[in-house]
Amino acid sequence: MEIIRTVAELKAKLDEARTRGTIGLVPTMGALHAGHLSLIERARRENDTVVVSVFVNPTQFNNPTDLATYPRTEEADAALLENAGVDYAFMPSVEEVYPEPDNRQFDLGPVAEVMEGAMRPGHFNGVAQVVSKLFRFTEPTRAYFGEKDFQQIAVIRKMAQLEGFNNLEIVDCPIKREADGLAMSSRNVRLTPEQRSIAPAISLVLKASLVKARELSLADTKKWVIDTINAFPYMNVEYYEIVDAATMQPIGEWSDSATPVGCITVFCGDVRLIDNIKYILK
């Protein structure tokens, strides 16, 4: 594996690799865990060349403390990537990705206005900025994203459509969970041992709500999820929305969507955790 720090070197390597076959890109912000590795394994299976970017993108953080405390574990990340059979690890500096301020405002529309978009103003514009740059730097055949950030995938698809990345396949990959159900996240390391033992309640309650959904209205199912999670110590639900998987718009009745997805954000202490579940009714 080669660690690459500059855009020029990355482009040169990938121009050459492209003559030999397909390129799979896995964009990450580092602090790699088994969730990332599952994306990388899939990229490895499906492509001739695999490039993983490790870049904590400042433009997508609307909270300076969140940016400052975001875990950075570059050496460990490089070792994991090497072990996973990655060809190129792109680990650029902020100046390399943003030689000048990126003032682009993407017209991402309704998919970016709800949930994370409403709670974290500017977040999705920052994601669109960096992912569009990464797509331009790497020109991949496929790019891999985890479904834990369910709304993010819809936003990236919208950005790709706006920017004309038509020949690039965006591959969504299922959430990877710890044995106790907690969705894997780089933020999980910030939980205290006690919080860590309580955090799996999020996924357990979401799972139990699949059964509740068969007998309760959508509004009552939402309320049940929020109340049940909030009853645990440290837990504070920021939002729980049940949305249509394609439009990301909240629905009022189960019959409003053939693909309802429940998207949740919970503060466990001061750690913001997200998760989601697909409801299959009937």
Tell me how far apart the alpha carbons of residues 122 and 141 are, in angstroms, rounded to a whole number. Answer: 28
182 near ligand PAF (CB under 6 A): no
Question: Which residues share a beta bridge with 172?
Answer: 145
The CA distance from 260 to 45, in Å, is 30
Tokens of residue 183, six digits: 């969705």
Residue 207: Cβ within 10 Å count: 11
User: Judged by CB, which is closer to ligand PAF: 145, or 279?
Assistant: 145
Give the residue from 157, 133, 137 showing the smallest Cα distance to 145: 157
Measured from the CB atom, the residue of 129 and 257 that comes closer to ligand PAF is 129
Query: Which residue among 4, 23, 51, 130 contacts ligand PAF (CB under 6 A)?
Result: 130
How far is residue 247's CA from residue 242's CA, in Å, rounded to a whole number? Answer: 11
Residue from 29, 40, 268, 273 touching ligand PAF (CB under 6 A): that is 29
Contact between 28 and ligand PAF per CB under 6 A: yes
Q: Is 123 labeled as catalytic in the residue annotation?
A: no
| Cβ at position 95, least distance to ligand PAF in Å | 17
Decide: is 60 part of the binding site for ligand PAF (CB under 6 A): yes
Find the shortest distance in angstroms from Cβ 26 to ligand PAF: 9
Catalytic residue among 7, 26, 30, 36: 36
Q: Which residue has the tokens 């910030």?
A: 190
Q: CA 41, CA 142: separation in Å to the nearest integer?
A: 13
State how far the Cα of 191 lies from the Cα of 272, in Å rounded to an integer: 10
Contact flag: residue 127 with ligand PAF (CB under 6 A): yes
Structure-token pair, residue 280: 């299959």
The verdict on 275 binding ligand PAF (CB under 6 A) reads no
Rule CB under 6 A: which of 131-170 touch ligand PAF? 131, 149, 152
Per CB under 6 A, the segment of 27-35, 161-169, 200-208, 221-229 that binds ligand PAF is 27-35
Q: Which helix (H) or strand (E) holds 142?
A: strand 142-146
Q: Which is nearer to ligand PAF, 84 or 127 (CB)?
A: 127
Interface with ligand PAF by CB under 6 A: which residues?
27-29, 57, 60, 127, 130-131, 149, 152
Residues tagged active-site: 36
